[in-house]
Structure 1
Amino acid sequence: MSSPEDGTLARAAVDALTGQLALLPKPGLPDPRDLRARASGADHCALRWSAKALTPGLVAMAAAARRTGEATPRLREELGAIGRCTEHSVALAGGGHRGALWALGLLVAATALEPGAAPADVAAAAKRIAAHPDRRAPRRPSRGSSVSAKYGAAGARGEARAGFPHVRRALGALAATRSAGATEPQARLDALLTVMSTLQDTELLHTIGPLGLRLVQAGARGVLEAGGTATEAGRQALSAFDADLHVRAWSPRGSAGLLAGALFLDSLSAPVSSRARAA
């Protein structure tokens, strides 16, 4: 049985995901500009709608973690089963968010295990959960695991088993950019680019290979090295990078899910006033 705290965590996670969707311009990723484009507007609306379909599954994951009380193999298997059911519900609501569900599900469960913990401690708890194999998972390899094996990339599972290093990097970028006086959207875009600049995105590896992935990483680094999105030079670099990815139809989706994880952890310690300002 779930508690009010479980619902609060789930809603915070979904808010983080929809907050990520609201950012613009996101290079190669869906953003509010798509609402003005006849071809992709329906897709962006579907992503916003289907994000809310994650809520019951995330509530159940938080409740499972709170009931179990520690990062056991049984908890890992229960989270996997809930995740697969949630993927089905999200598909019926419009699809998407598979990577975000993996990251947010583990982080929500870890937060329920460690209520009030600092983001680094929550990430460590998620690492302990992810360390256990899911013995009930389908035996057929996923596309992400096949790509990880082919190229030696960490992939979503490796990211979790390492304690979400890119989520922690995004949190560091958020803090640094805010302290430098940037607006909240600028801080979030810089955090996204920070993830994008080093993440071995298995979706990109599958669609465009290692060379394409390196080009995407270099483009993200170029924006940050130009001063980030709070500077005129950084905004010009972002505009060029964004246009290039859209022309090529390259989509670094893995970075978006990890940014959502960072925004979720950030929201747990943010004062109410700053959350309202960011909305």
Structure 2
Amino acid sequence: MKIPEIFATGQEVDTQTIREHAQARFQELSMLVSSNPDWTVVSVALNIPGSIKTNQLIQNFFQNGVKRFENSLIARGLTFKCQLQDDLSPTGPERGYLIKGNPLLIKSHTSHFEEANPSANLFNLDVLAVLNGEIRTLPREAVKAPARRCLICDKPAKFCQAQQRHSIEELQTQVDRLIQLQLEADRQGQMAQQFGKLATQALLEEVAIWPKPGLVDPLEHLSHPDMDHFTFIKSALSLQDYFTKCALVGLTTHEDNYQLVFDEIRQFGLVAEREMNLATAGVNTHKGAIFTLGIIATAAGIIINRDQWSFDQLKLTIQQMLAKLMHDDLQSQKEPTEATAGQQQYHQYGLGGVREEAALGYPTVFNYGLPAYQAAADQSSNDRGVTTLLAIARHTMDSNLIKRAGNMDILQERDHWIDEIDAAGGITTDLGRQKLNEMSVEFARRRLSMGGSADLLSATLFIAMIDNLQNKM
């Protein structure tokens, strides 16, 4: 029979060593009980069948579970201290906690934790207390908790153990499955949190880059008098949980119809907009970024979970997610007078705006933004961002800019400015920076804004960060 992966490595320990260690551990815990009469002592260990009790995978599983246990204590308002810790013991990782509270209350809590999910059944949380003058482990019956269930057949564990109803190999196979499933869920959760941080970082970097004609930066925001650099910081931080949730959907979904996945996260986006408005007192700082970065976080999660990461695959997945977007949001819209600015421009000029850019898989980002960002790797972070923004703006039908100007002629004027900056050597030359500053002054004077380009810059930064993360793995 093939050895389950979890048990393929590790030091074997004999029954005598396990028994002696258990006795020594109980003595240590008993000393904690005696020396801390106002605290309840809880021992945390694992139920691992066979002679291999620990290795790196088992330790990872244990440490992740301990984090969940500690978080559950915090959620219940229970004060605790970890007094004993031996994650490298050959008999298995273990912890000893002092928890402030009634032993019966804590026993009830630990019993519920052990039943929280199938993998939690592998945890053994013993609550020690003084009973009739002796230090003992509180039984589950003391809090009317049901008996521990067998890992395989769901009968009482003690019954199956006494009858030896399952072989060590059967038990190890089931333990391997439970640990692998939980480790994968932990990995997905950790990666989703990382994506949430990266998306937030992309928004913070975008607003920090200077100068950006007609956009908010740390020094200037005349085109947006209702917001400033600090408004953007508050807004970006309010969105991290939303981006994390989008990434988690992508990393965990089993749905092959990606349009349904998009419908799911779009509802999250509406909640995120409300969170943004609460953070900014109603100022729309990141509505476009909520849409764009939420899509990218989800699509990236989908392909990374399938081990298919590449720019081409990301673009294709976004296209599949948004296959009906143009029809649903623009082509079927029949009342232009009640339409959004983007919908009005679609009917007036035939411009698809951000929806068309998204439905096509963000070609401006992949064809111009990312190449410019990669080519400017030797520039400072700020100048690299400016260079990338100009490359994006030069190839964007920016609906925000058109709305501010009131006509499409502004696109030609914008391109002329950018061409002059490029001809002067770009942001890294004195003349190029002078031209850029002149463009910024002119855009501020006329209250022009390249908001669409700013969102695509954030998207470029976000994708570049994900790519960098994947290349390190």
Query: Structure 1 residue aligned with 2:207, among 21, 24, 45?
Result: 21
CA distance in 2, matches of 1:226, 1:120: 33
Query: Structure 2 residue aligned with 1:104, among 275, 293, 307?
Result: 293
Partner of 2:387: 190
Paired residue type of 2:388: A
Q: Against the structure 1 CA distance between its residues 136 and 271, is the aligned structure 2 distance closer, same or farther, given a 3 Å change threshold? A: closer
CA distance in 1, matches of 2:328, 2:441: 43
Q: Against the structure 1 CA distance between its residues 84 and 106, is the aligned structure 2 distance closer, same or farther, given a 3 Å change threshold? A: same
Q: Which moved more, 1:67-76 or 1:155-164?
A: 67-76
1:132 is the counterpart of 2:324: yes
Identity %, equivalent residues: 24
Which of 1 and 2 has greater Rg? 2
1:214 is the counterpart of 2:383: no
Partner of 1:175: 374
The residue correspondences of 1:84-95 to structure 2 (distance < 5 A) are 84-94=270-280, 95=283
More strand by share: 2
Report how far residue 222 of structure 1 moved.
2.1
Report if aligned partners of 1:148, 1:202 keep a CA contact under 8 Å in 2. no
Tell me the TM-score normalised to structure 2 length: 0.53
Partner of 2:402: 205
Report how far residue 30 of structure 1 moved.
0.5
Q: Against the structure 1 CA distance between its residues 133 and 243, is the aligned structure 2 distance closer, same or farther, given a 3 Å change threshold? A: closer
Q: Against the structure 1 CA distance between its residues 219 and 193, is the aligned structure 2 distance closer, same or farther, given a 3 Å change threshold? A: same
Structure 2, unmatched stretches of 5+, are 1-184
Q: How many pairs were matched up?
A: 268
Partner of 1:151: 349
CA distance in 1, matches of 2:268, 2:328: 11
Deviations 1:201-239 (A, max 9, x none): 111222211112321232123212322111222111111
1:61 is the counterpart of 2:246: yes
1:9 is the counterpart of 2:198: no
CA distance in 2, matches of 1:67, 1:17: 25
Deviations 1:118-173 (A, max 9, x none): 23322221121111349998x76432122223212231110011111111111100
1:233 is the counterpart of 2:431: yes
Higher relative contact order (CA 8 A, sep 6+): 1
Report how far residue 52 of structure 1 moved.
1.2
Tell me the TM-score normalised to structure 1 length: 0.87
More helix by share: 1
Partner of 2:151: none
Query: Structure 2 residue aligned with 1:253, among 441, 451, 459?
Result: 451
Partner of 2:314: 122
Report if aligned partners of 1:72, 1:132 keep a CA contact under 8 Å in 2. no
Partner SS, residue 163 of structure 1: coil
Partner SS, residue 125 of structure 1: helix
Report if aligned partners of 1:77, 1:134 keep a CA contact under 8 Å in 2. no
1:267 is the counterpart of 2:459: no
Report how far residue 25 of structure 1 moved.
0.9
